[in-house]
């Protein structure tokens, strides 16, 4: 058994994803870790045999398609197809899907947060997960007026909307790290994250705001001021050049070999 993205830990065992990660790591023969922090997490749990740091496989994919999402015409085509009144840097892109953000209390909190950051000139475009949509309807919670709901989108469309947005608001670990590669400010709607490399000080791409409306407004004002966000996003898209991590080749080579990967530190 091989586990890609082995060693990731949010250290929140209330999350089913966290329990699944731990179980998969302790059952696997091959553990392909994307980051040094992931390798260290495995070592802390006594797992060193079969561990190989390979880089992030999803970065390979993002680098492969990055040239296809850079141009302003890409966003214009998306806006036309989805009938969205948006342009580069003049919208916020959001996703919410985690179970902990589907309780009535959590949904009331993040919808209020969206209401605080969305404006007519810079709406929140929410790619609404069907499970989240059902939870909102069951709780009779109505989204704020400056939140525009769209269906979940394919990979290239999602990547393009992140790149051309003023900022991203999400509880998705995948989007958190994609936004980091793209250089897009990201407000993480969680209190913990398994992608610790993306969060930190003022210069980091992402910041944990949980469902704190005041924190979200403060961080968005600091990282993507409304009067500057169109220029920031335009410059960011024009200068995007992603470098592949080479994870796919490392994983393929390891699986093609007759031996298990060398123990970390050996």
Domains and CATH numbers, the chain: 2-55+246-256 (no CATH), 67-238 (3.40.50.2000)
**Distance separating alpha carbons of residues 145 and 84, to the nearest angstrom:** 14
- Per-residue pLDDT, 163: 98
Match 């991590």 to its residue by tokens: 245
List per-residue pLDDT tens for the chain, 266 residues long: 899 999 999 898 888 888 999 999 999 999 999 999 999 999 999 999 999 999 999 999 999 999 999 999 999 999 999 999 999 999 999 999 999 999 999 999 999 999 999 999 999 999 999 999 999 999 999 999 999 999 999 999 999 999 999 999 999 999 999 999 999 999 999 999 888 888 876 667 899 999 999 999 999 999 999 999 999 999 999 999 999 999 999 999 998 885 555 555 44
- Per-residue pLDDT, 169: 98
179: left (phi over 0), alpha (psi -120 to 50) or beta: alpha
pTM for the model stands at: 0.90
Phi (first) and psi of residue 67, to 5 degrees: -65, -20
Picking from 200, 97, 118, the residue whose alpha carbon sits closest to that of residue 166 is: 118
Q: Are the CB atoms for 65 and 155 separated by under 8 Å?
A: yes
C-alpha distances out from residue 207 to 60, 101, 135, 192, 239, Å: 24, 17, 26, 10, 23
Residue 245 C-beta-side C-alpha neighbours within 13 Å: 18
**Distance separating alpha carbons of residues 31 and 42, to the nearest angstrom:** 9
């Amino acid at each position: 058994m091989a586990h890609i993205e082995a060693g990731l830990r949010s250290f929140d065992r209330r999350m089913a994803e966290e329990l699944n990660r731990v179980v998969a790591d302790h059952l696997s023969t091959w553990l392909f870790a994307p980051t040094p922090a992931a390798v260290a997490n495995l070592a802390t749990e006594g797992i060193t045999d079969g561990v190989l740091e390979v880089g992030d496989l999803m970065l390979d994919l993002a680098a492969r398609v990055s040239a296809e999402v850079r141009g302003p015409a890409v966003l214009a085509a998306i806006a036309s197809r989805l009938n969205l009144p948006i342009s580069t840097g003049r919208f916020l892109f959001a996703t919410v899907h985690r179970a902990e953000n589907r309780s009535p209390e959590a949904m009331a909190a993040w919808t209020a947060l969206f209401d605080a950051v969305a404006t007519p000139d810079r709406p929140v475009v929410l790619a609404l997960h069907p499970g989240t949509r059902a939870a909102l309807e069951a709780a009779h919670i109505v989204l704020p007026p400056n939140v525009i709901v769209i269906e979940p989108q394919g990979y290239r469309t999602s990547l393009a909307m992140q790149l051309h947005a003023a900022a991203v608001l999400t509880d998705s670990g995948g989007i958190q790290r994609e936004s980091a590669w793209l250089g897009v400010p990201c407000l993480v709607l969680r209190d913990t994250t398994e992608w610790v490399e993306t969060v930190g000080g003022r210069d980091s791409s992402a910041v944990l705001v949980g469902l704190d409306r005041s924190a979200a407004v403060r961080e968005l004002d600091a990282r993507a001021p409304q009067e500057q966000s169109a220029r920031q996003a335009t410059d960011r898209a024009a200068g995007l050049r992603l470098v592949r991590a080479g994870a796919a080749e490392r994983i393929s080579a390891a699986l093609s070999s007759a031996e298990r990967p060398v123990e970390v530190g050996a």
